[in-house]
Chains A and B, each alone.
Chain A
């Protein structure tokens, strides 16, 4: 693009923040905001992570936490139970934020996020089928979720893809498919026995409870690869977000570009859903919140990822503390926090006018 890779470490960040604003004077301002956002989010993540490691039925002292992390004072609970949960919050939150930003860019509509266009509902169908029809082990529930999400995504994508892809059409078809899949889910839950129904509802609300390092290896690799891919293509993503005609005139191969982005978005959503269940609303809210924090036009990826990570991490802590010692599914809290914050932001904007 415009040769903005000044800091070798974070070329992606630089590009996403500056490319989208052609006016030089304003670009500088946005960039500073973005750096501030990065620093703020990293500090928040570290702080929340530390609290997450310390918090339990009884609080661990900072000494114990550092001891466990460095291996000087081994603690299974901190190093093997709490640490993966903290990492999962950051990783999954970032993945969901990016997935949401991708879809919102593609469809040019804040409602075009994966949870609205049926991916989460499709994953739930897969999981429900495994729980009720082929009652089996948890491995197959994860498999069912991924399969369900992918099938739904393929359905939505192929249905909306005649004579090129229109964002609006994808949202409308996504909502239609989502409603049908949700109806199917409701029917499956109604048919199921009460115990199975409760387990299914529990799964559907998304949870980071019981996540081990083992559970994180595959999703971690998948998400890292997907985020790298999308990071390298971020500039093209901005191009296509500007509109078909601009993208075509600047020579971005539209169709292939979009398919790639859809694959990354679906991949992120499906991976998170397979491990944690559908953690609703992070994908919808994080990009919108991040966009406002960064004061950027469009829906930039980096703020979405950072906001998503902090949001999910924070929500998971609240979920553990709210009704302690009984912990809530994090999905319950993400919807409440994410939605509440979004409403507050909207109200703020109203007041400013």
Chain B
């Protein structure tokens, strides 16, 4: 897949370079032409918006950045998205680095001037709803149609990235990657069917507001668990006091409660960084004597999971590979 992908991107890069030279020789006249193609109605978080059927110049921010780069959407400007960098493929990372940045990490510092400069025909804002209020939508709408498509729960990246790719007219490539992911997940599901059936899992996470002295426990549908769920892993239990968004699927109890929380688990998975190192909040749990006393730990049934923050089908394939690698010892038991 990576071979095909790299060839595709290289072709696109060459085409872009050509277009750039032509544009330069045309001496700035290129940007002035407004494409008045056919439009369609699109339902987004900010209501139903009329967007071009085949957008040519797309600006993306937030979660839309990795998903639209991966779907080979016609991007002309993006926000910076540091947290996604470790999970991008080399080609995608290069695209990410090369594209002009039009916004910082926070939505409040969107550079309207720079977005207007790119003369886009569609703006995809990939931030959760409460954040969208921070953006001057009216001003953006004066530049180009704006669609807001953001996640509200950790596992929502599937629908969110699909909608983002749909809006940007890049479904073709998106479906290709999605198909690859699903095929791979199906294969792994068969492979681990026996090993995972009836296995009660628990997950120690490292995302969000893990305070000192606390640990994050993730249940089904959270960052660390949703992709494992696709290959048949089930995490038992549920959040004591459900909140909104990610707080419905994960909680942050005190370390003192570790034995009571995970005593019944047959196996425990935990989040590790992209380079395999253990994040501090997880290391704190792993280094404690309470952890070493857990039945699952004593039976050596603990598995690190990399790339738990995947938010696109391409990134999630890396997570699947990481799961396969980590779960391999299960097959021997």
Direct A–B contact present (CB less than 8 angstroms)? yes
A194 interface residue per 8 A CB criterion: yes
> Which residue in A195, A196, A197, A325 is a CB contact (below 8 Å) of B100?
A325
Q: Are A203 and B108 in contact (CB under 8 A)?
A: yes
B176 interface residue per 8 A CB criterion: no
Q: Complex: how many Å from CA A301 to CA B291? A: 62
Instruction: Provide the residues of chain B in CB contact with A58, threshold 8 Å.
Output: 117
Among A58, A141, A209, max chain B CB count under 10 A is at A209
Interface of B: prevailing SS: mixed
Instruction: Provide the residues of chain A in CB contact with B139, threshold 8 Å.
Output: 81, 210, 212
A95 CB to closest chain B CB, in angstroms? 21
Q: Complex: how many Å from CA A304 to CA B315? A: 54
A199-B106 CB under 8 A given contacts A193-B247, A326-B101 = yes
B80 interface residue per 8 A CB criterion: yes
Q: Are B209 and A197 in contact (CB under 8 A)?
A: yes
Instruction: Pick the interface stretch among B84-92, B122-130, B231-239, B298-306.
Output: B122-130
A326-B103 CB under 8 A given contacts A193-B245, A203-B108, A209-B110 = yes
B264 CB to closest chain A CB, in angstroms? 28
Q: Are A199 and B117 in contact (CB under 8 A)?
A: no
From B128, which residue of chain A is reached at the shortest CB distance? A195
Instruction: Provide the residues of chain A in CB contact with B138, threshold 8 Å.
Output: 212
Q: Are A77 and B113 in contact (CB under 8 A)?
A: yes
B50 interface residue per 8 A CB criterion: no
A1 interface residue per 8 A CB criterion: no
Instruction: Provide the residues of chain B in CB contact with A56, threshold 8 Å.
Output: 113, 117
Instruction: Provide the residues of chain A in CB contact with B2, threshold 8 Å.
Output: none
Q: Are A81 and B113 in contact (CB under 8 A)?
A: yes
Instruction: Provide the residues of chain B in CB contact with A201, threshold 8 Å.
Output: 106
A135 interface residue per 8 A CB criterion: yes
> Which residue in B127, B129, B136, B211 is a CB contact (below 8 Å) of A135?
B129
Q: Are B102 and A325 in contact (CB under 8 A)?
A: yes
B60 CB to closest chain A CB, in angstroms? 15
Q: Are A329 and B108 in contact (CB under 8 A)?
A: yes
Q: Are B108 and A81 in contact (CB under 8 A)?
A: no
Instruction: Provide the residues of chain A in CB contact with B101, threshold 8 Å.
Output: 325-326
From B103, which residue of chain A is reached at the shortest CB distance? A326
B273 interface residue per 8 A CB criterion: no
Instruction: Provide the residues of chain B in CB contact with A57, threshold 8 Å.
Output: 111, 113-114, 116-117
Instruction: Provide the residues of chain A in CB contact with B112, threshold 8 Å.
Output: 81, 209-210
A191 interface residue per 8 A CB criterion: yes
B109 interface residue per 8 A CB criterion: yes
B37 interface residue per 8 A CB criterion: no
B159 CB to closest chain A CB, in angstroms? 17
Instruction: Provide the residues of chain A in CB contact with B105, threshold 8 Å.
Output: 198
Q: Complex: how many Å from CA A210 to CA B108? A: 8
Instruction: Provide the residues of chain B in CB contact with A141, threshold 8 Å.
Output: 133
Instruction: Provide the residues of chain B in CB contact with A340, threshold 8 Å.
Output: none
Q: Are B133 and A327 in contact (CB under 8 A)?
A: no
Instruction: Provide the residues of chain B in CB contact with A198, threshold 8 Å.
Output: 105-106
A199-B102 CB under 8 A given contacts A76-B142, A190-B209, A326-B111 = no
Q: Are B117 and A196 in contact (CB under 8 A)?
A: no
Q: Are A193 and B246 in contact (CB under 8 A)?
A: yes
Q: Are A326 and B130 in contact (CB under 8 A)?
A: no
Q: Complex: how many Å from CA A203 to CA B106? A: 9
B204 CB to closest chain A CB, in angstroms? 18
Q: Are A326 and B134 in contact (CB under 8 A)?
A: no
B104 interface residue per 8 A CB criterion: yes
Q: Are A199 and B107 in contact (CB under 8 A)?
A: yes
> Which residue in A77, A194, A202, A207 is a CB contact (below 8 Å) of B209?
A194
Instruction: Provide the residues of chain B in CB contact with A193, threshold 8 Å.
Output: 128, 208-209, 245-247
> Which residue in A190, A199, A323 is a CB contact (below 8 Å) of B134?
A199
A76 CB to closest chain B CB, in angstroms? 7
Instruction: Provide the residues of chain B in CB contact with A77, threshold 8 Å.
Output: 113, 116
Q: Complex: how many Å from CA A76 to CA B143? A: 10
From B134, which residue of chain A is reached at the shortest CB distance? A199
> Which residue in B104, B127, B129, B207 is a CB contact (below 8 Å) of A326?
B104
B131 interface residue per 8 A CB criterion: yes
Interface string of A161-199 (1 = CB under 8 A from B): 000000000000000000000000000001111111111
Instruction: Provide the residues of chain A in CB contact with B80, threshold 8 Å.
Output: 326
Q: Complex: how many Å from CA A212 to CA B136? A: 9
In chain A, positions 259-287 with a C-beta closer than 8 Å to chain B are none
A196-B111 CB under 8 A given contacts A212-B136, A326-B80 = no
Interface string of A137-160 (1 = CB under 8 A from B): 110010000000000000000000
From A277, which residue of chain B is reached at the shortest CB distance? B108
Interface string of B129-151 (1 = CB under 8 A from A): 11101111011001000000000
In chain B, positions 223-264 with a C-beta closer than 8 Å to chain A are 245-247
Q: Complex: how many Å from CA A191 to CA B214? A: 13
Q: Are A326 and B109 in contact (CB under 8 A)?
A: yes
From B105, which residue of chain A is reached at the shortest CB distance? A198
Instruction: Provide the residues of chain A in CB contact with B209, threshold 8 Å.
Output: 190-194, 197
Q: Are B103 and A138 in contact (CB under 8 A)?
A: no
Q: Are B131 and A199 in contact (CB under 8 A)?
A: yes
Q: Complex: how many Å from CA A80 to CA B104? A: 22
Instruction: Provide the residues of chain B in CB contact with A329, threshold 8 Å.
Output: 108-109
Identify the 10 closest CB pairs spanning chains A and B, nearest first.
A202-B106, A210-B136, A202-B108, A326-B104, A57-B117, A135-B130, A325-B114, A56-B113, A138-B133, A57-B114
A-B contact pairs, 5 of them (CB 8 A): A193-B247, A199-B108, A202-B106, A212-B136, A325-B114
Query: In the complex, given contacts A82-B113, A196-B130, A210-B139, what are 4 additional A-B residue pairs having Cβ atoms less than 8 angstroms apart?
Result: A58-B117, A137-B133, A196-B131, A199-B106
Q: Which residues of A contact B (CB under 8 A)?
A: 56-58, 76-77, 81-82, 131, 135-138, 141, 190-199, 201-203, 207, 209-210, 212, 323, 325-329
